[in-house]
């Protein structure tokens, strides 16, 4: 299947290159930038992948043991975007090919690889209004909305891995307002299926409702820099984005709202409960300095899954609690950056998971911005103040 998909993409590239003029093909701007002669549609094709080396030292209470090493292709993706019929009707398709991208086959996606990451139409139907339909990221915490191609550390934080909303299938209505003197406000509301991406077997629980407000008191960042980590453009004036997200997943049937394992009862029916997730976050940039801060909170009406008798716990628990993530970096004119991050995750006692803290120090060399870079970081993690480990990561990203 992977071979067929890759072959199809190669044939598409060959067909375009032999039938139409291809322009603007410099590195980092897409492998193909094609516009039809009658301007009725456009296609940009941009493959990318990330290589990672990970070494982990666990502490057994007395000393650190021998390290465990792992080499992985963390992400390998094919992205297509452009417009169809009119520049006001845009689309994005992103496919994942790495094992981490396509894993998660189960009965609710017909036990199939989850190739599709994004498949969404974006219609600018009126001034400052857009309607999105399809599968894409929900408007959750800013760290998750930032593409994995534009991170300033090897990967996202523990807050994100435990509490993010990720992708879902549904519709989103987006609007932006100018409040005067350059003060901008963006509003997003979304209604989605509530069970994550690539679900094919209907809606098992209720629907998921998400609302987000973003405030930019000093106006827009350059080149959408509020969705890019690191101040690579060295903002000449301070730029700030402050965001708030409220998410309600009615009848959630998975351990992390729309993510994680499904919660089955002994008769193979699903346990469902209402789950609420709240985020408050900020992004600040000025003259090479960048800061990102996030707070997450998740609660559930009945977090302990109960069996068909409504009294016996099944062993499944909705992951609830709080988390804070603080991250800051400085980008030097020599195209190097140093970054520090602190994350703490405090799960509620009902989950049985102790609190965890993590300290990370990273360094990056940007060769062609985020399109070609080498990154490394080292993290110290402490579980409940006792069980700790050290992790070192090294890798590179290449994005055509």
Mean pLDDT of all residues in 120-126: 97
- Nearest CA-CA partner of 98 in 80, 81, 115: 115
**Mean pLDDT score of the chain, rounded to an integer?**
92
**pLDDT tens readout for residues 104-113:** 999 899 999 9
> Are residues 174 and 145 in contact, defined by beta-carbon separation less than 8 angstroms?
no
Mean pLDDT of all residues in 191-211: 92
When mean pLDDT is compared across 46-60, 146-160, 275-289, the lowest value belongs to 46-60
**pLDDT tens readout for residues 296-334:** 999 999 999 999 999 999 999 999 999 999 999 999 999
DSSP string, 66-126: PPEEEEEEEEEEEEEEEEESEEEEEEEEEEE-SHHHH----GGGTT----EEEEEEEEEEE
* pLDDT of res. 19: 44
Contacts of 79 (CB under 8 A, 6+ apart): 45, 46, 47, 48, 92, 93, 94, 95, 118
The SS3 of residue 158 is helix
* pLDDT of res. 139: 97
- Nearest CA-CA partner of 348 in 323, 321, 322: 321
Is residue 368 over pLDDT 90? Answer: yes
Tokens of 57: 């030292």
Is residue 215 over pLDDT 70? Answer: yes
* pLDDT of res. 66: 83
CA distances to 17, 80, 172, 283 from 12, in Å: 9, 12, 30, 39
* pLDDT of res. 17: 47
Question: Taking the CA of residue 134 as centre, how many other CA atoms within 13 Å lie in the half-sphere pointing to its CB?
Answer: 16
Measured between alpha carbons, how far is 245 from 143 in angstroms, rounded to an integer? 13
251 φψ region: left (φ > 0), alpha (ψ -120 to 50), beta (else): left
**pLDDT tens readout for residues 35-91:** 999 999 999 999 999 999 999 998 766 677 788 999 999 999 999 999 999 999 999
Is residue 238 over pLDDT 80? Answer: yes
Measured between alpha carbons, how far is 381 from 99 in angstroms, rounded to an integer? 26
Q: What angle do CA 34, 39, 42 make, to 5 degrees?
A: 35
Tell me the domains of the chain and their CATH numbers.
Answer: 2-399 (2.40.160.10)
* pLDDT of res. 26: 83
Mean pLDDT of all residues in 171-198: 96
* pLDDT of res. 16: 47
Tokens 């080292």 correspond to what residue? 378
């Amino acid at each position: 299947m992977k071979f067929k998909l890759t072959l199809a993409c190669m044939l598409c590239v060959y067909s375009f290159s032999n039938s139409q003029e291809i322009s603007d093909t410099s590195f980092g701007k897409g492998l193909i930038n094609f516009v039809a002669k009658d301007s009725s549609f456009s296609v940009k094709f941009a493959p990318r992948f990330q290589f990672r080396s990970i070494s982990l030292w666990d502490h057994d209470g007395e000393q650190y043991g021998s390290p465990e090493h792992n080499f992985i292709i963390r992400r390998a993706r094919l992205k297509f975007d452009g417009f169809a019929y009119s520049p006001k009707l845009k689309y994005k398709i992103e496919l994942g090919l790495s094992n981490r991208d396509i894993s998660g086959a189960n009965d609710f996606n017909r036990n199939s690889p989850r190739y599709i990451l994004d498949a969404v139409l974006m219609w600018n139907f009126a001034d400052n209004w857009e309607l999105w339909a399809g599968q894409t990221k929900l408007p959750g915490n800013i760290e998750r909305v930032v593409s994995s191609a534009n991170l300033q550390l090897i990967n996202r934080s523990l807050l994100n891995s435990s509490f993010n909303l990720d992708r879902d299938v549904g519709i989103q209505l987006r609007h932006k307002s100018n409040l005067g003197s350059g003060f901008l406000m963006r509003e997003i509301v979304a209604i989605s299926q509530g069970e994550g991406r690539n679900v094919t077997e209907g809606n098992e629980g209720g629907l998921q409702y998400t609302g987000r407000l973003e405030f930019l008191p000093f106006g827009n960042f350059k080149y959408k820099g509020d969705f890019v980590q690191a101040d690579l453009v060295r903002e000449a004036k301070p730029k700030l984005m402050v965001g708030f997200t409220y998410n309600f997943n009615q009848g959630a049937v998975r351990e992390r709202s729309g993510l994680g394992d499904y919660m089955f009862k002994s008769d193979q029916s699903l346990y469902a409960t209402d789950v609420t997730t709240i985020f408050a976050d900020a992004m600040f940039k000025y003259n090479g300095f960048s800061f990102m801060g996030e707070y997450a909170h998740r609660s559930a009406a009945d977090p302990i899954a109960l069996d068909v008798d409504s009294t016996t716990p099944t062993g499944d628990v909705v992951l609830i609690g709080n988390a804070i993530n603080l991250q800051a970096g400085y980008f030097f004119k020599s195209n190097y950056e140093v970054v520090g991050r602190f994350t703490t995750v405090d799960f509620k006692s009902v989950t049985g998971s102790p609190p965890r803290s993590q300290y990370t120090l990273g360094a990056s060399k940007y060769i062609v911005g985020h399109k070609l870079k080498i990154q490394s970081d080292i993290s110290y993690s402490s579980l409940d103040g006792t069980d700790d480990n050290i992790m070192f990561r090294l890798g590179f990203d290449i994005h055509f």
